[in-house]
Structure formats: C-alpha cells, structure tokens
C-alpha cells in the first residue's frame, strides 16, 4: 500500500485544469451506450470509478474506445439503441463506485437478460435497498445479500412506470428510477422533497429523451429513441474544492481553476465558502450540453466557518469532507448536521473525519448525524499519520489540512485518490510554494 508524506507549505498558486466531472462522465457513458450510433465524449474522467462504468458497459457488448489526445481523454461509445445491450458472460464489477452500481441496477432491471453486479469490499457494504425498493415496485426482480447489499442478482423483467417519492435525498436513487423508466411503457416520475444534482435529467434531455420537471417532480417517457451525441465534460467541482481548501488555508495563495462545472445543483459549496468570507470569483460563465461551466478564482482569506445543515446538505454531500477539514482553520469552527448519509459513503465519513482530525490535534465532537470541529486551531494542528480507510475524499481532504499543520503528515493508502482523481498529488505538488 502506497503512502504519501505531506510537508507544510507556505502558499499555493497557479492555474489548474481539473479532471472531467465524475457524475457527468457516468451518465454520458450510460446514455451513449443506450443511444443508437457513435457518441464522442471528450474530457471523460480518468477516475477509476468512471472506468468501472466503461468496463461494465463493454461487458454488456457496448463498443468503447478510449483515446488520449494531448492529455484530453476522449471516449467513443457505440451504442445500438435502448434494446442494444447484451448479457454479460461474467459478473459486472462496479469497483468502488456507488454511482456505477446504482445507476446500472436501474438499467439492468429492464433488460431481457439476467446480470450480476458486484463491487469491492467497501461497495459491498453500502446500502442498495434504496434502489431495489422502487425498482421492485416497477416489476424488477433483484436478489441482494440480506436484501440490501451487493452482489446483486438482477433478473431482467418487463417494467411498469411508477410515481415515486424519494425516501433518501439521493441523485443516485432518482437516476436509477429514471433510467429504469426508459424501459417502461409510459411516464415514470420521481418526486424529490429535497433537490439533488440533476445531471441525469440534463443528460437525458441532451441524448433526446423526453424529460420534464414540474416543481419537485421530474418525469421521463419510456421507450425513447436516444441519439448519439458529441459532448464535452466540464471539470469536476468536487475535485476543485480541495484546491480551494488549500488556497484558503495558506496565506498568500491565489489560484485559477479552468472550465469548472458550475451546475447550480452542485455549486452550493461556492456559496458556503463565499458566505464564510472566501473571495471566490467566477468568470467566463457559459452553457455546454445543458451544463454550466466557468473559470473559478480564489485567493486566501480568513474564514469565519459556520453551521451546515438541512436541505443544503444534499447539495454539498461530496464537499463536506473538505469543509469539515477546514474547521480548525476557521474562526468559529464548523458544525455539520443532518448528514447521517455521510456514514454510508465510501467510508463512514463522520467517524473517519473525527478520528483523523483528532490525530492532528483538532477538537472534535462526533454525533450520529454530523460533527462539530472547533475553530482557531491554526498553528496548533500537528502533522500526523492519516488513515483515510481507502476513501479518496478523506485522503485528499487530509492532504490539504496537512499543508497548514506543523510538521510532516503521512497519508496511508494514498493511492486511493485515483478513485476520483488520479494525479491529484502531482498537480498539488506543482502548485505548492514552500
């Protein structure tokens, strides 16, 4: 297992091109696979998770070509239409990727063949009942370990449309139901009491499906004819946040992040940071394939910190690790509430955050659905041995926190960053001023 040492830094500065957005990459790949013809997807994420989606699609007889043009990953997917998938000879491996597993469960439920979907030890511990339950209402037949965990044995079935209200604010569950709705005759609707990221709706529309939103309800018509497209994926804001965090921790820092995805259902983190006093700038804002994209600039500033709770949490869910790790560097500290979902991510993120923040000398109160991290610890945080428990976002959040601590930190199992951001440490190193 690789380890990485992180020494304190004076500041960071530079211009950064981010990897393609992970959430959008999964969706474009899946919809291109269900479209008729050759789709070209540029700036596809190099994240291991997004490669897992491509691997699964290949096993379902979809044509997948991966090329790298001057560092710009392009994926060409040749689909044969909504009825074009074929049974895989072996089980499908989603690796560490919850999005791959939950979205593909929706797609595979409505096929004429059976599939087995599995994943790594972390993914096999994550709850799948949340997708099985609505899909069973549509007529799906899915066997799971203890009715909740992968491996999932999915028996392809004829599906009926449903009107479903999300029980957990989860874009993955919403997407699984909408994707299954493509194989049902009629209109499938999902009501989301709390707004979650809408990349599936945007991508469905882009590939030619009939999608409508009325208030909190989103609907899709079944059996569409999806058309192959040329699309470009914006940079991943959830990855950008680690660099924003570094600039905010280290006085004198200044960064420009190019071509960042700024979909309003994803960009709440920028509002939170601005509200805490961060000088976040946005320029060159434009639309691309239905998604917002722009350049984000940041300079160092002292942060107030504050409380995060309620409906905001669903829109910040992947950024909470970085925001929590900024806690000791803020004036008032950071309090995270209503976030029990963090316990069923790639690791129990509440426990792992509390453990590693304490290793660095921060004062943390752990609660069932969140944590409170005391502020004003700048200068008192110590370098420490960090155990991210195989969770990419933990490894990156603590690598950043370590830049402002006293003494060297060691990040165990540092290779896990490749789940969402291969090359993270190299890019970070290139921006550091010591």
Residues of this chain that bind ligand S3P (CB under 6 A): 23, 99, 170-172, 175, 197, 317-318
Q: Which is nearer to ligand S3P, 31 or 317 (CB)?
A: 317
- The whole-angstrom separation of Cα 295 and Cα 348 is 32
Q: Which is nearer to ligand S3P, 4 or 199 (CB)?
A: 199
User: Cα–Cα–Cα angle for 144, 150, 152, nearest 5°?
Assistant: 55
CB 90 within 8 A of CB 13: no
- Minimum CB–partner distance for residue 197 and ligand S3P (Å): 6
**Residue among 21, 198, 236, 318 flagged as catalytic:** 318
Q: Which is nearer to ligand S3P, 318 or 374 (CB)?
A: 318
Which tokens sit at 117? 């979907």
- Minimum CB–partner distance for residue 317 and ligand S3P (Å): 5
Measured in degrees and rounded to the nearest 5, phi and psi for residue 174 equal -55, -45
If you search the block for the tokens 């004036």, which residue do you land on?
A: 331
- Minimum CB–partner distance for residue 419 and ligand S3P (Å): 10
Q: Which is nearer to ligand S3P, 99 or 259 (CB)?
A: 99
Q: In what order do the strands lie in the sheet with 115-118?
A: 92-93, 115-118, 149-155, 141-145
Q: Which is nearer to ligand S3P, 99 or 409 (CB)?
A: 99
Q: Which is nearer to ligand S3P, 249 or 313 (CB)?
A: 313
- The whole-angstrom separation of Cα 242 and Cα 428 is 9
Strands (E), 248-357: 254-261, 280-288, 291-299, 306-308, 334-336
Q: Which residue, among 26, 169, 44, has the nearest Cα to 98 in the 3D structure?
A: 26
Which tokens sit at 430? 């290139």
- Minimum CB–partner distance for residue 129 and ligand S3P (Å): 13
CB 409 within 8 A of CB 363: no
Query: Could you confirm whether 7 is annotated as catalytic?
Result: no
Q: Which is nearer to ligand S3P, 171 or 226 (CB)?
A: 171
- Minimum CB–partner distance for residue 172 and ligand S3P (Å): 4
CB 308 within 8 A of CB 299: no
Which residues is 38 bridged to in the sheet?
Answer: 78
- Minimum CB–partner distance for residue 130 and ligand S3P (Å): 8
- The whole-angstrom separation of Cα 109 and Cα 3 is 40
In whole angstroms, what separates CA 363 from the centre of its chain? 28
CB 315 within 8 A of CB 268: yes
- Minimum CB–partner distance for residue 322 and ligand S3P (Å): 13
CB 361 within 8 A of CB 381: yes
- Catalytic residue positions? 318
């Amino acid at each position: 297992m690789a380890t990485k040492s992180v020494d304190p830094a004076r500041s960071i500065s530079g211009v950064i091109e981010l990897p393609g957005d992970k959430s959008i990459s999964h969706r474009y790949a899946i919809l291109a696979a269900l479209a008729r013809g050759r789709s070209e997807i540029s700036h596809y994420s190099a994240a291991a998770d997004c490669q897992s989606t491509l691997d699964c699609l290949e096993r379902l007889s979809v044509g997948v070509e991966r090329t790298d043009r001057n560092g710009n990953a392009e994926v060409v997917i040749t689909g044969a239409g909504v009825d074009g998938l074929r049974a895989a000879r072996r089980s499908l491996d989603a690796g560490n990727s919850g999005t791959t597993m939950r979205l593909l469960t929706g797609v595979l439920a409505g096929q004429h063949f059976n599939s087995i979907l599995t994943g790594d030890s972390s993914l096999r511990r994550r709850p799948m009942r949340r997708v099985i339950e609505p899909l069973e209402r549509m007529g799906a037949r899915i066997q799971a370990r203890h009715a909740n965990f992968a491996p999932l044995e999915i028996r392809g079935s004829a599906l009926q449309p449903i009107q479903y209200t999300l029980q957990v604010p989860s874009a993955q569950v919403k997407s699984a139901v909408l994707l299954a709705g493509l194989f049902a005759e009629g209109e499938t609707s999902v009501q989301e009491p709390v707004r979650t990221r809408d990349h599936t709706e945007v991508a469905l529309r882009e590939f030619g499906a009939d999608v409508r939103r009325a208030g909190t309800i989103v609907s899709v018509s079944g059996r569409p004819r999806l058309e192959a497209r040329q699309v470009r994926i914006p940079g991943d804001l959830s990855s950008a946040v680690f660099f924003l965090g570094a600039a905010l921790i280290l006085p004198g820092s200044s960064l420009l992040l190019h071509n960042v995805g700024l979909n309003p259902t994803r960009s709440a983190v920028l509002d939170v940071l601005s509200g805490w006093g961060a000088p976040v700038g946005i320029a060159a804002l434009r639309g691309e394939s239905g998604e917002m994209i722009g350049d984000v600039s940041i300079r160092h500033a002292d942060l107030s910190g504050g409380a995060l709770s309620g409906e905001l949490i669903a829109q910040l869910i992947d950024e909470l690790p970085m925001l929590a790790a900024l806690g000791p560097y803020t004036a008032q500290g950071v309090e995270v509430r209503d976030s029990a979902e963090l316990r069923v991510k790639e690791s129990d993120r509440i426990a792992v955050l509390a453990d590693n923040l304490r290793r660095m000398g921060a004062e943390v109160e752990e609660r069932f659905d969140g944590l409170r991290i005391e502020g004003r610890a700048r200068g008192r945080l110590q370098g420490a041995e960090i155990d991210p428990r195989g969770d990419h976002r933990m490894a990156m959040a603590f690598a950043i926190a370590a830049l402002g601590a006293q003494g060297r930190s060691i990040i165990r199992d540092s290779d896990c960053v490749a789940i969402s951001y291969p090359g993270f440490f190299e890019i970070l190193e290139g921006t550091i001023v010591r």
